[in-house]
Structure 1
Amino acid sequence: METAKILVQGIVQGVGFRPNVYRIAIKHDINGYVRNLGNVVEIIAQSHDYNDIEKFISEIEVKKPPVSIINSIEYSFFESNASFSEFKILESSNSFSGTSVIPPDIAVCENCLKEMRNPKDRRFNHPFIACTDCGPRFTLIDSIPYDRNRTSMDEFPLCNECMEEYTNPLDRRYHAEASCCNTCGPSLQLLNKDGVDISFKHTNLIKKAGELLNESNILAIKGIGGTHLVSKVSDDDTVSILRKRLTRENQAFACMVKDIESALEFCEINSYENEALIAKERPIVVLKKNSNYNLSKEVSPLLHNIGVILPYSPIHHLLFDYINDPALIMTSANIPGEPMMIDNKDIVNNLSKIADYFLLHNRKIINRCDDSVIRFVDDKASFIRRSRGYAPAPYNLNEYDKFKSILHKNHNILALGPELDLTFTILKNKMAYVSQHIGNTNKFKTYEFLQDAIKHLMKITSTNSFDLVACDLHPQFFSTQLAKEISNKFQADLIPVQHHHAHGAVLAVDNNIDELIVIAADGVGYGDDGTAWGGEILYSDIESYERMASLLPQKLPGGDLSTKYPVRVMTSLLYSKFEKNELKDILNKHYIDYFKHGAMEIDLVFKQMESNLNTAITTSAGRVLDSISVALGVCHERTYEGEASMKLESFAYRSNNDKLKIAPEFIEIDGLLRLDTSQILYDTLDLVKRGENKKDIAKAAQDSVAIGLAKMALIAANKKDVNVVGATGGVFYNEAISKKVKETVERDGFKFVSHRNSCAGDGSVSLGQAIVASFKL
């Protein structure tokens, strides 16, 4: 009798993996068992024929469940005294620690939707329908192994009929931990703005919620990973009221549509975007508005695009049965800068002045998880936020050539990211587990969320300690302070990593390359010279970096105040290009309304420029684009992150003029080549003075920044004899800039790379920190 022990690692829990193994074993006349061992699936396979076991192992990998991911299958044959007469699925054990992880939450599947729509099915209109192929995972798991008694579903004992399915290996709901029905599952509750339960007045709470939305009410609806604020999209007044209550003046709202056909009524959708919209992960996809766009102008003001998402929970699907509008605003319910709300009492108490009604349920959300956001740039997916649907599925770093020789199974690394748009990463056993979106750790509740999320991810990855803790180079970030505390707690070395180096490391790993020239363009990243970088050309071999060029260093009069009021940055960029009185005349004549305190503030800004009092130094590409935006009258105040630059992109998008040019110019300072951004802004104003169309000027100015960055990168590539140039940082969510850089790089015969399965923005900085830190072991 031949016997083999098989260990399978990857996303193999909560995805129907064990019943799938059971069915394959029966097919091949294999006896033995399969069970979860903490973070790995163990299989004992016994047969008279060695070849049957080999075929069995091969089919496990080839015919795995659609949601599962197998990172490795290790097996060995051994002499066994035991003889098995059948194949069984055994109860889970936690006696082994491997590298699997709980799968992310995914959209409700077609089979469940068919059952939910069938009046003869016992799960007809069930708002929590799920099976092994779909539904919540990460948001309801408390600990491993992934069994119902370790999830928030433990509070809902299965009825007899559900238990029969749950214990039948041939059933689609075998050990589907989120499975339930109208008899034994969670229940909905409808409350008014005073928190009074009015559920008893209505037989169908979702229908009533739809009616309330049609009547222009704002609802807080608790979902899978958190709560959304929901309203209709057709009425300016309703959207304006939501903005006023949220104190969210201009930032675009994401919208949920019933189906692709509904989205096509107001958006352009190509095949790549279509595929992303209907994918099981169900991200928000940023789409271009079409010529028939008919939603309220308040939904996505002054932008040429809008975030769109399809229903992913049963509640969403049922809600659209009663909605008159083509779409619904579906935005995260949170106090600005704080985490999305998940606790019913908190939801009602904190949103009572925002929501008119609350549609809640009594299933606990253990791990809050915001919606993911993707934008396609030149037909390639670019993550703006990688969260629900993707996190915390790990990156297998052993797939990347450079790591095969340096990663060791017995070392654990924690990387804590930057400060805004933060995620953290746990790297162990050659797997990098990047957390869900955490947010802005300047806010205390978000900082608490970060600490809780670290503890929980440690728990479900069986991580008890760390050998290294990585953090941002900025000494004053709250994440840096937390990194120091954690490194002391575990007596682990602390590794500060320069912000743009981390960006570049992710870009390299994402494309499986050893070295490249990195164009890093964003708002800010603390430089190793103590200034604020943000328009950098770096050479990187992943392990280290060398600064090769940058944008021209500029002063930020008033420090962070300049990021809120970009006319201050514009003044700084023009300071060296005009005589003092001439520049003051320009500002007083054309931009006086952009200064909060008028002429007095203009004088103050000049004094700050002269004295360097409260004046930081930056090479930020984001601040340059903000300056161009204010110079053209597009946006003069930032009410949300990236506002001025995003509105500039949308303004320039409407230009078809390829003839108007602003040639980039370069100067050398302190041995580094610098793009003269002051000259670009000067030329921008000159074109305005000549009466050129401002949309055409916006396009020319954006192109000049892009071409300037690309040319400096090409000079660096030739100097370092490197044939790959990559782009990273939040500026590269701008499609026009990305395309122009790519075009310029490839025209010279170099290879251009961008992010694939990671964020160009700060959401993947923690992954880059972990990657860089791994070389320090």
Structure 2
Amino acid sequence: YNYLFTTCVHCGPRYAITKQFPFERDNTSLTSFTMCASCEKEYKDPNDRRFHSQTNSCVDCGIQLQLTDSIGKTLNVSQNKIIEKTASLILEGSIVAIKNTNGYVLCCDATNENVIARLRANKKRPNKPFAVLYSSIEKIREEYELDTKEIEGLTNTIAPIVILKNTEATTIATHIIAPKMNQTGVMLPSSSLLFLLSTNVGRPMVCTSGNIHGSPIISENAIAQKSLHTIANYFVNHNLDIQFPQDDSVVKFHENTQHILRRSRGFAPNYMEDNTQIESGTLAMGAHLKSTFTLVPNAHIYVSQYFGNLDNYDVATRFKKTLDQQLQVFNCRPKTILVDTHPAYQSSLLGSEMTQQYKAETHKIQHHKAHFASVLGEHKLFDSEEKILGVVWDGTGYGDDNAIWGGEFFVYENNTIERVSHFEYFDWLANDKMAKEPRISLLSLLGEENKEQIKDKFTSTEWTIYNKMLLSNNLKTSSVGRLFDAVASALGLCDSNTFEAEAAMLLEDCASIYSKSYYIDFLHNIPYDTIPSKKIAEAVLKAYREGFCKERLAFSFIYTLAKSIITLSRKHQTTIIACSGGVFQNALLVSVLSKLCKSHKKVLKINCKLSSNDENISFGQLMYFQNIKN
């Protein structure tokens, strides 16, 4: 009773503590803990619920907690009082770093504006939303209006973060937890430790990944103390080693459809399907930003959890370490390695190194074709007798013509993929800075007669420099992600992102508020073969300057994009439409498109088991290699 690591054959950590297969105690982190006589009796009794429970332990023989201050000094608190003491510290306004079963989380009182502001400042996270932990589904239902699917998602054993619409009944400090947003990420405890803590606190808690900005979640006690002591006032540590740290998964439901925004704890690395065609030893290295890898070590396909941006040294190190660990767990030696065509992706460079190390063969797969293949693979559409329109919209990806793609239309037929259309090219300026500053995307998309309207978004020096860049620039893009940024800037929502996809999230949030049916198709009566991005951006800006409300224009923009998909589907005479890419994490876009598909007798397929973003690239590379490349 009240032992924080109570488990049985049906519950408790598995993947996080696995060293080697098969899953026996000696092959897990629990091998360091010898069962006492009582636990061993349970373990050996066929009638006991803990019969052959490899994670069995108790307060006498099991995992021990430790409560320390920010400099690592242990507080004199008995084991059975640590959670109670931690709860009181949180209620007093402290930030506590807690070692959960999948890594550290940072917790504080979600009703205390001052402590949340301090957490933001300490973590250098000015606007990115925090998740909030509630102790029970009953507590959540008191503050949010939940549909059946949201309840199922929250109470699922995976216990993901679920994005919910705010209501007036919400007691938390929403304006600082998720600034400018009308929604909040909410979760239930994923472990007995968090369950007992949240119950003792008695009010909602901010619960965010224990890491420093841009780096992966921390799982080791010493590293947590070193890295988080400037953020947290106290630490709750334990002595169970975590082999595979993972962030919490994030999902969103829209009209009874689940959209996975981040696939990690609970979802990964669960295998996607039985495999009978791909040779074991095939490894797909994935993309560079939302990085994952996919491994075929046996008759199953395993897709790893999300890691993050491989530009970050710690993320790249975690990626390689986890990959090496999985190869060890499965006793697998790669024979074929698949990489992105982008020559500078860290995943591609690492793939090249591993090709030499294992004397494997390597194959390059184009980014957006891998996205398309991921949907075809998920829905088993490679044997389709019908043509399929593939729609892949995202922020960036290396195209076959050396441009930066991101607004692509393909047709799949008879095991071939052909690019049939795209959003018109516009200038890609200032390298990665363009992805961080939506105002630059807007400038690039406006004609000379419209540029002056946004001059006040730049200093005089910036204005001169960026306009000179436009005159000499050679790099082009078809990115719908940057078009979303441009429209967000045009509507005054965001000129500079403080976190990835901030502008797109604000635009979706703004459009979701609009409830009327008076919307605009910005491409109405405009014939096109490639989607005229500039006309869309200029039309939005013009309408906003003429006094149209931004909510209506934001919704109209999303409607226009969805309608363009129907137009291209008609042109290429396809019934099935398969969509992928980070832009399709926009639940409102998917909802509008779904309704249009139904009214035009089209069949819509999107990523379901995987996220629409670059997390699906590694699986898509594998599907492309199996069904197209071969």
Where on the TM-score scale, by shorter chain, does this alignment land: which range?
over 0.9
Partner of 1:12: none
Residue 242 (structure 1) shift: 0.5
1:406-436 per-position Cα deviation (integer Å, ceiling 9, x unaligned) = x15x542101110111111102434111112
Partner of 1:391: 268
Check conservation: 2:159, 2:187, Cα contact below 8 A.
yes
Distance 1:684 1:495 in 2: 42
Which range moved further: 630-639 or 368-377? Answer: 368-377
Distance 2:585 2:510 in 1: 15
Partner of 1:346: 223
Distance 1:564 1:386 in 2: 24
Distance 2:254 2:377 in 1: 19
Check conservation: 1:714, 1:745, Cα contact below 8 A.
no
Q: Counterpart of 1:683 in structure 2: which amino acid? A: A
Q: How does 1:375-524 map to 2 (within 5 A)?
A: 375-398=252-275, 407-408=277-278, 410-463=279-332, 465-514=333-382, 515=384, 516-524=388-396
Distance 2:563 2:162 in 1: 28
Distance 2:355 2:443 in 1: 43
Distance 2:569 2:340 in 1: 24
SS in 2 for 1:557: coil
Which range moved further: 180-189 or 424-433? Answer: 424-433
1:476-527 per-position Cα deviation (integer Å, ceiling 9, x unaligned) = 0111000111112222221111111111112112212125211111111211
Matched, 1:153 2:14: no
SS in 2 for 1:319: helix
Matched, 1:743 2:595: yes
Q: How does 1:53-64 map to 2 (within 5 A)?
A: none
Distance 2:301 2:289 in 1: 20
Partner of 2:504: 645
Which of 196, 201, 206 is the matching residue for 2:83?
206
Q: How does 1:32-51 map to 2 (within 5 A)?
A: none
1:659-691 per-position Cα deviation (integer Å, ceiling 9, x unaligned) = 1313326666xxxx2111211111112212221
SS in 1 for 2:339: strand
SS in 2 for 1:358: strand
Q: Counterpart of 1:705 in structure 2: which amino acid? A: L
Aligned in 2, Cα 1:397/1:663: closer, same or farther, shift over 3 Å?
farther
Check conservation: 2:436, 2:500, Cα contact below 8 A.
no
Residue 542 (structure 1) shift: 9.0
Residue 639 (structure 1) shift: 1.2
Which of 698, 710, 715 is the matching residue for 2:571?
715
Which has more strand, going by share of residues?
1
Check conservation: 2:569, 2:575, Cα contact below 8 A.
no
Partner of 2:617: 765
Partner of 1:361: 238
Residue 643 (structure 1) shift: 0.5
1:249-289 per-position Cα deviation (integer Å, ceiling 9, x unaligned) = 11111111111121123323210111111111111111222
SS in 1 for 2:410: strand
Check conservation: 2:209, 2:217, Cα contact below 8 A.
yes
Residue 715 (structure 1) shift: 1.9
Q: How does 1:224-263 map to 2 (within 5 A)?
A: 224-263=101-140
Partner of 2:465: 604
Q: How does 1:596-635 map to 2 (within 5 A)?
A: 598-612=459-473, 616-635=475-494
Check conservation: 1:229, 1:329, Cα contact below 8 A.
yes
SS in 1 for 2:237: strand
Residue 656 (structure 1) shift: 1.7
Partner of 2:523: 664
Partner of 1:65: none
Distance 1:625 1:265 in 2: 35
Distance 2:240 2:414 in 1: 44
Give unpaired runs (5+ residues) of structure 2.
Answer: none
Which of 527, 532, 545 is the matching residue for 1:676?
532
Q: Counterpart of 1:162 in structure 2: which amino acid? A: C
1:375-407 per-position Cα deviation (integer Å, ceiling 9, x unaligned) = 123311121122111222212244xxxxx6xx1
Distance 2:294 2:610 in 1: 13
Which of 145, 156, 160 is the matching residue for 1:279?
156
Partner of 2:445: 573
Check conservation: 2:160, 2:251, Cα contact below 8 A.
yes
Residue 711 (structure 1) shift: 1.9
Partner of 2:49: 172
Q: Counterpart of 1:439 in structure 2: which amino acid? A: G
Partner of 1:533: 405
Q: Counterpart of 1:253 in structure 2: which amino acid? A: F
Partner of 2:582: 730
Check conservation: 1:675, 1:709, Cα contact below 8 A.
no
Q: Counterpart of 1:348 in structure 2: which amino acid? A: Q
Partner of 2:251: 374
Distance 2:500 2:517 in 1: 29
Q: Counterpart of 1:751 in structure 2: which amino acid? A: V
Which of 436, 449, 454 is the matching residue for 1:587?
454
1:26-72 per-position Cα deviation (integer Å, ceiling 9, x unaligned) = xxxxxxxxxxxxxxxxxxxxxxxxxxxxxxxxxxxxxxxxxxxxxxx
**Sequence identity (%):** 28
Check conservation: 1:652, 1:699, Cα contact below 8 A.
yes
Partner of 2:546: 690
Which structure has the higher relative contact order (CA within 8 Å, separation 6+)? Answer: 2
Distance 1:759 1:627 in 2: 24
Residue 543 (structure 1) shift: 4.9
1:166-219 per-position Cα deviation (integer Å, ceiling 9, x unaligned) = 112222112211111110111100000111111447850001110111111101
Check conservation: 1:519, 1:713, Cα contact below 8 A.
no
Q: Counterpart of 1:638 in structure 2: which amino acid? A: N
Distance 2:594 2:241 in 1: 46
Q: Counterpart of 1:254 in structure 2: which amino acid? A: A
How much is the aligned-residue C-alpha RMSD, in angstroms? 1.7
Distance 1:560 1:616 in 2: 12
Structure label with greater radius of gyration: 1
Check conservation: 2:20, 2:330, Cα contact below 8 A.
no
Give unpaired runs (5+ residues) of structure 1.
Answer: 1-123, 399-403
Distance 1:583 1:620 in 2: 20
Q: Counterpart of 1:448 in structure 2: which amino acid? A: T
Aligned in 2, Cα 1:506/1:202: closer, same or farther, shift over 3 Å?
closer
Check conservation: 2:7, 2:56, Cα contact below 8 A.
yes
Check conservation: 1:199, 1:205, Cα contact below 8 A.
no
SS in 2 for 1:363: coil
Distance 2:80 2:307 in 1: 38
Aligned in 2, Cα 1:414/1:318: closer, same or farther, shift over 3 Å?
same
SS in 2 for 1:217: coil
TM-score, normalised via structure 2 length: 0.96
Check conservation: 2:133, 2:198, Cα contact below 8 A.
no
Partner of 1:76: none
Distance 1:391 1:298 in 2: 31
SS in 2 for 1:533: coil
Aligned in 2, Cα 1:543/1:299: closer, same or farther, shift over 3 Å?
farther
SS in 2 for 1:204: helix
Distance 1:543 1:344 in 2: 50
Check conservation: 1:559, 1:616, Cα contact below 8 A.
no
Matched, 1:546 2:423: no
1:629-671 per-position Cα deviation (integer Å, ceiling 9, x unaligned) = 1111111111111100100111111112321313326666xxx
Q: Counterpart of 1:306 in structure 2: which amino acid? A: T
Partner of 1:75: none
Partner of 1:774: 626
Check conservation: 1:662, 1:680, Cα contact below 8 A.
no
Distance 2:414 2:316 in 1: 29
Matched, 1:559 2:431: yes
1:279-312 per-position Cα deviation (integer Å, ceiling 9, x unaligned) = 1111111122223233211111112222111112
